[in-house]
Amino acid sequence: MAASLDGYAGFKHFLISSPAEYVAHVQTNRPEKLNAFFEDMWLELGDIFRKLSHDPNVRAVIFSAVGERAFTAGLDVQAANQDGGVLSQDGVSDGSRFATRVRRHIYEFQDSVSAIEKCEKPVIVVLHGISIGLAIDLSCCADIRICSKDTKFSVKEVDIGLAADIGTLSRLPKVVGNHSWVKEVCLSARFFDADEAFAVGFVSRVLENKAKAIEAATEIATLIASKSPVAVQGTKDILNHSRDNSVAESLRYTAVWNSAMLQSKDVAAAMFSGIKKTKPRFEKLLVYIQRVRSWLDLKSEE
């Protein structure tokens, strides 16, 4: 049974627990609306993943959703249009000012979702049931994607008259590597199933049902969390850097990274545990931002 995770009880739209040591499980909790998102939810999601990124008690994250019907049905269009919504031009007569407002809104939405990708800890997303629109944006930000057999995917945005703008069109081609397939599903908004998602490499595993998928994700996260957090976080950062840069630049980046990180005691601990056939224990990473805040608090008291 999952335990509570200290410091995360105040979030309204998500459940956060710890199913294993150093593992966090974030669940979208709006099953009555098929876990569709509205503004307060994506802002809260960004806050959660930024907090997890610097939490020394977390080394791997599982991201899933409550309920059996949907990971998420995407954007809650009805909620988005309440009180006029961001696309309302009420009170704005100038096109440039309207465009500025919309652009800032999109940036805010993008930043909240990108917090999953920027999280220093590896993120494993578990998709099930209806997984459309925003589901693709969210899952493309994760490091590992697994799903249940009943998952139905769609890059749905063209069906509501827009080009996907929260990350799918930027990330999906790099996730899959098959531009013909990417353009097919993005331009047509057609559904594709778990088997097709596995065949093109969008997901790495397909499980019998949601419960089995969560179980598999927990096993993966627990294994990752048992490794050196210095090594794991460095590996994630370097892999993401290599995705967006040349081989030569990535090699240089890796050398600079490891020139600092090889000073860690984790290297010796891992090597000796291998020789002695014992399970290594790695220290928690310090929270830099807390040290800075403590220093600032002291300075303010002087």
- Domains of the chain from N-terminus onward: 3-225 (3.90.226.10), 229-301 (1.10.12.10)
C-alpha span between 127 and 152 (Å, rounded): 9
* pLDDT value at residue 292: 42
Q: What is the pLDDT, as a whole number, of residue 293?
A: 45
Cα within 13 Å of Cα(290), Cβ side: 8
Token representation of residue 11? 């979030």
* pLDDT at residue 57 tops 70: yes
- The span from the CA of 164 to the CA of 232, in Å, is 31
Position 93 confidence tier, pLDDT thresholds 50, 70, 90: confident
Residue 80 token pair? 């988005």
Which range (25-39, 83-97, 172-186, 189-203) has the least confidence?
Answer: 83-97
Please tell me which residue, 296 or 56, carries the higher pLDDT value.
56
pLDDT bin (cut points 50, 70, 90) of residue 43 is: very high
The confidence score (pLDDT) of residue 112 equals 95
Cα dist from 124 to 35, 60, 103, whole Å: 18, 8, 30
Residue 243, pLDDT score? 94
- Residue 24 DSSP label: E
Reply yes or no on whether the pLDDT at 211 is more than 90: yes
Q: Kindly report, residue by residue over 143-182, the tens digit of the pLDDT.
A: 999 999 999 999 999 998 989 989 999 999 999 989 999 9
Which range (66-80, 94-108, 140-154) has the least confidence?
94-108
Give the model's pLDDT for residue 263: 77
Are the CB atoms for 154 and 133 separated by under 8 Å?
Answer: yes
214: pLDDT strictly greater than 90: yes
Strand order of the sheet with strand 152-154?
70-72, 130-132, 152-154, 192-193
Alpha carbons 302 and 293: distance in angstroms, whole number: 14
What's residue 282's pLDDT? 80
Percentage of the chain modeled with pLDDT above 70: 87
Give, to the nearest 10 degrees, the angle between helix 229-244 and helix 266-276.
110
Residue 51 has pLDDT above 50, yes or no: yes
**Structure tokens of 16?**
């956060």
